[in-house]
Chain A
Amino acid sequence: MEPDNHLVVKNVVKHYPIRKGLFSKIVGNVHAVDGVSFQIDRGKTFGLVGESGCGKSTLARLLMSLEPLSGGQILYKGQDISRFSKKHIFEIRRKMQLIFQDPYSSLNPRKSIGHSIEAPLVTHGIAANRKERRELVTQMMDEVGLDVEQFKRYPHEFSGGQRQRVCIARAMILEPEFVLCDEPVSALDVSIQAQVINLLCNLQKKRNVTYFFISHDLNVVKHISDVVAVMYLGRIVELAPKNVLYKRPLHPYSQALISSAPEVNLKQKKKRTVLTGDVPSPIDPPKGCHFCTRCRYVEKKCTNEPSPELIEVEHNHFVRCWLY
């Protein structure tokens, strides 16, 4: 295995059973994540886009071992963390941290923000005593642009952007190697989004962390990522370096997604490929290609035969479509 493969995900599957009746008989499965594979290099940013309900957040939970897998493997630096015991997971969490979407609900309103940032240090027994911990916390607060005076303040006294800074500080204080950001800027106003994205980029440069960045905002993902994956109904349909993907999307879904993103471009009105219909239910996904119900180029093959594999069309550009 190459040493720079920081995280390798192999054919990960997650099904949630639907139970019914007296004996909780399993009547069906929600195919939340259905065979996802990719790898992330150290110090790079992997962007994941997709619409709500496509399995982005479930995938995030699986990567962080917050849920057991239904199948597949997650290799973190060559170790299969999906088979780890609780104790092992606890240790690996020090290196893998999370930043959530909503900074309002992910901070304890009864704890001062200083305490919140300090908590991971206590849990993992880092730093010998309180004084040392405080020092680390003030350093960290300074790094994310929070006033050290605010140590004793409570979350409700802060604005959304500042709260997200607190969450970032809390995630970064353990000096993680891998940080998963689940829609970290979606809840923030535009002028604040820019501040938070700059902060994340700076921290990455300084500490060489790997980001796994989830968002539904294509522009944000385009800005921050190195490699972008497009997810549809539990599967990655296209995976490519960002410039390639945004310039020449190959999968019909990525094409539609990228063309529907509104853009400030007055000279040239974009020709949109507007998709008809809605995303099918993940309980009963279409038999062949998952996208066949909305695809413009749909053929017999797409609906009848099992879904195509992720094929490397050009160097590093993977597409899951019969067209290629």
Chain B
Amino acid sequence: MKENLSSLLEVRNLTIDFHTMDGIARAINGVNFSLFKKEKIGIVGESGCGKSVTVLGIMGLLQKPPAKVREGQVLFKGRDLLTLPEREFAEIRGSKISMIFQNPMTSLNPVFTIGNQMGHVIRIHQGLRKKESIEKAIELLQEVGIPSPEKRIDEYPHQLSGGMRQRVMIAMAISCRPQLIIADEPTTALDVTIQAQIIDVIQDIIDRFESSLILITHDLAVVAETVERVLVMYAGKIVETGSVQELFESPKHPYTQGLLGWITNIETERGKLPTIDGMVPSIFNLPEGCSFSNRCKQCIPICIRQEPPNIEIKPGVLCRCWLYSEER
């Protein structure tokens, strides 16, 4: 129970379905994790594995229907967000928990100035007057390293470059000093040199504000440089959890091993790259046993029949694979 006290966010058995014309899509299936204060975690996985659905579920931003939370709890400081009335949730969203999205062009409103949009957030959550909110916005822009913020505040999103827009998004996200920042692929749409800048800004902000971070990305290298603990997702489930060191030095799950095999090989020499054959199974029709069984090179009969349990290999290292079970 000691864990409960210091954990900021606890996701318990979160299961979200999408009811579509083609049937029920099991987007995420029993996701469990907890996040401590000042901790930085990363969620990695390929497209469609449920990374974004997980955090949108936490933020209560999924459109329902088609989305439906079948079971689970999201405890933020002990309160279950999923059962909160919308008005109370709205107070937390944006002030205690805030989010940075992937594409800053589509998440900023093109017809309002930067100052207008930032001021809006500040006024709603902090009850400041208009003039004060603009001053605060300028201060925030300065914090994220935007040169001459007094000028930038009156500009429209299209006048800024991609990196600048992402900085504005970050400034907006931190405007209420949130305890938890969720960044959904914050650097994917940016160039490498700009990506390095933005990662530095996020790191710096998190450390200064003593917030927690959930970083979602498909780029393992970004994760390795930014966070402390990693969750690997595959087909709607967390298949491996561990510290960055543990995960990159000795990956446990065959899927993680495959992913890392590629990244370490591509950084070295020319030659045949190790691949993971086949494709991700459709979430409309998940296999009965382990979802990775159809691509796994170490597949054993039980993998196809029965879903593997989540096994704690070492303290803090969890892996969902039959290879580490004694019951197989």
Binding site for B on A (CB under 8 A): 51-52, 159, 161-162, 189-195, 197-198, 201, 216, 218-220, 222-224, 256-257, 260-266, 269, 272, 274-276, 278-279
Contact B248 A272 (CB under 8 A): no
Report whether B47 and A194 are in contact in the complex, using a CB–CB cutoff of 8 Å.
no
Apart from A194-B276, A257-B192: 5 A-B pairs, beta carbons within 8 A: A189-B218, A257-B193, A262-B219, A264-B260, A278-B161
Q: A275 and B193 in contact (CB under 8 A), knowing A191-B276, A194-B274, A266-B249?
A: yes
Total inter-chain residue pairs, C-beta < 8 Å: 107
> In the assembled complex, which residues on chain A have CB atoms less than 8 Å from the CB atom of B249?
266
Any A CB within 8 A of the CB of B205 = no
Chain B residues at the A interface, C-beta cutoff of 8 Å: 46-47, 161, 163-164, 191-197, 199-200, 218-222, 224-225, 244-245, 248-249, 258-260, 262-267, 269-270, 272-277, 279
Chain A residues with CB under 8 A of B161 = 278-279
Write the nearest CB–CB distance from B207 to chain A, whole angstroms.
15
Question: Are A264 and B267 touching (Cβ within 8 A)?
Answer: yes
The answer to whether A191 and B266 have CB atoms under 8 Å apart is: no
Q: Is the CB of B266 within 8 A of A220?
A: yes
Q: Tell whether, in the assembled complex, residue B191 and residue A52 are in contact, meaning their CB atoms are under 8 Å apart.
A: yes
Which residue in B191, B194, B221, B274 is a CB contact (below 8 Å) of A264? B221
The residue of chain A having its C-beta at the shortest distance from the C-beta of B224 within the complex is A264
Interchain nearest-CB distance for A256 vs B (Å): 6
Docked complex Cα distance between A281 and B262 (Å)? 36
- Asked if B196 and A274 make an inter-chain contact with CB atoms under 8 angstroms apart, the answer reads yes
Would you list 26 pairs from A and B whose C-beta atoms are within 8 A, ordered by A residue?
A52-B191, A159-B279, A189-B47, A190-B259, A191-B46, A191-B276, A193-B262, A194-B274, A194-B275, A197-B266, A198-B272, A198-B275, A219-B266, A223-B273, A256-B193, A257-B193, A261-B192, A261-B221, A262-B196, A262-B199, A263-B221, A263-B224, A264-B263, A266-B244, A266-B248, A275-B196
* A275 contacts across to B, CB distance below 8 A: 193, 196-197
* Interchain CA distance A192-B163 in the complex, whole Å: 28
Most buried by B among A189, A224, A266, A274: A189
Which A residues lie within 8 Å of B279 (CB)?
A: 159, 161-162, 192
Q: Which residues of A contact B218 (CB under 8 A)?
A: 189-190
Measured between beta carbons, the chain B residues less than 8 angstroms from A264 are 220-221, 224, 248, 260, 263-264, 267
Instruction: Out of B194, B197, B224, B263, name the residue touching A190 (CB < 8 Å).
Output: B263
- How far does the alpha carbon of A190 sit from the alpha carbon of B277 in the complex, in Å? 12
Whether A223 lies near B164 (C-beta < 8 A) is no
A275 to B191, CA, bound (A): 12
Known pairs A220-B266, A262-B222; A51 contacts B191 (CB<8 A) = yes
Please give me the 5 A-B residue pairs with the lowest Cβ-Cβ distance, nearest first: A262-B221, A260-B196, A51-B191, A189-B46, A191-B276
A224 to B265, CA, bound (A): 12
List, in ascending order, chain A residues with CB within 8 A of B225's CB: 262-263, 269
C-alpha spacing A198/B270, complex, angstroms:
10
Contact between chains at A222 and B248 (CB < 8 Å):
no
Q: Bound complex: CA of A274 vs CA of B272, how far in Å? A: 32
Complex: how many Å from CA A257 to CA B219? 17
User: Known interface pairs A264-B221, A264-B224. Does A223 touch B192 (Cβ–Cβ under 8 Å)?
Assistant: no
Please report the C-alpha to C-alpha distance between residue A222 and residue B270 in the assembled complex, in whole angstroms: 8
Look across to chain A and name the residue whose beta carbon is closest to the beta carbon of B147. A277
